[in-house]
Structure 1
Amino acid sequence: MAKDSSLRAVGWARSLPVSSGVKAARDWTREHLATLSWAQRDPDLVDAVLLAVSELVTNAHVHAHSAAQLILTWDEECLHVTVHDTSPQLPEQRDPGNAAQGGRGLLLVDALADRWEAYRCPRGKKVTVCFQAGADPGPAHTQK
């Protein structure tokens, strides 16, 4: 019997105005990761995703002066975290030096994620980060 080659994915999206703050992005992301049962299976991976979300949404709010469109997509192999903002300026990794108070966000994202990419789109840019879970967490099921 042939293997089912159709892609199964689940996703969520939320708009985060600058006034919402980064905590709202982390809390929202944590809630959705719980539906994948990642919190029980790999809490360190959840922490990595939340830190990346914090960095990407902060970049949209602070550097692009823009609302952040946060999209989470789980395709059974990778959790794709995408943040869209209205600036066409692509992010660049930089070496902020030891005394700088900021400038390390993409260094953190690069260290935490399996891969990431940034690209321009018609109304700004998107930064997408991929996190691969060790085992398929699948949707969490609750017994009633």
Structure 2
Amino acid sequence: MARDPSLRAVGWARSLPLGNNVKTARDWTREHLATLGWDRTAPDTVDSVVLAVSELVTNAHVHAHSDAQLILTWDEACLHVTVHDASSLVPEQRRPDDEALGGRGLLLIDALADDVRTQSCPRGKDVTACFRVPSPERPG
């Protein structure tokens, strides 16, 4: 993707109340990534981002028992996918047994994203996953 010197960052934010269908977050994310042209140029990255959004929003709803604030920020180097929730508890990766139906969300996000960070905030926490789009010069 050619760098536009006038473009520094673009972003979108959406509130997802507790009980809101996570599909709403996935569809909303996919629509915004299409405005960047990623549906044509980086469909695998889109799928990874959408899966991470699904996991992060689900974690906010299920584990934090909180509304989720979903923020997407593209700075031409990385797409930052941030989900804020009202819980101060930092998420921990679990080692689920083979029979467990859940407990793999953070493992998935860690495998899909180029970087994952958690930051405590005065009213909860932010979990941010960063995704770089493969370019012809830098294969995925």
- The TM-score, its normalising length taken from structure 2, stands at 0.91
What's 1:83 paired with?
83
What's 2:125 paired with?
125
What's 2:33 paired with?
33
- SS in structure 2 at match of 1:20: coil
Paired with 2:72 and 2:23, the residues of 1 have a C-alpha distance of 16
Paired with 1:102 and 1:94, the residues of 2 have a C-alpha distance of 10
Match for 2:78: what amino acid?
Answer: C
Displacement of 1:41 after TM fit? Answer: 0.5
* 1:101-140 map, 5 Å: 101-135=101-135
What's 2:72 paired with?
72
Paired with 1:135 and 1:65, the residues of 2 have a C-alpha distance of 38
Match for 1:116: what amino acid?
Answer: V
Paired with 2:63 and 2:102, the residues of 1 have a C-alpha distance of 12
Paired with 1:89 and 1:6, the residues of 2 have a C-alpha distance of 39
- CA deviations 1:49-104 (Å, max 9, x no partner) are 00000000000000011000000000000000000000000001110110111000
- SS in structure 1 at match of 2:71: strand
Q: Give the count of matched residue pairs.
A: 133
Paired with 1:48 and 1:13, the residues of 2 have a C-alpha distance of 19
Match for 1:128: what amino acid?
Answer: T
Paired with 2:35 and 2:93, the residues of 1 have a C-alpha distance of 32
* 1:56-71 map, 5 Å: 56-71=56-71
Over alpha carbons, which structure has the higher Rg?
1
Percent identical pairs in the alignment equals 71
Paired with 2:5 and 2:44, the residues of 1 have a C-alpha distance of 30
CA RMSD in angstroms, aligned pairs only: 1.6
- CA deviations 1:103-140 (Å, max 9, x no partner) are 0000000000001011110000000000001239xxxx
Structure 2 spans left out of the alignment, 5+ residues: none
Displacement of 1:6 after TM fit? Answer: 7.8
What's 1:43 paired with?
43
Match for 2:24: what amino acid?
Answer: A
Paired with 1:82 and 1:60, the residues of 2 have a C-alpha distance of 11
- The TM-score, its normalising length taken from structure 1, stands at 0.88
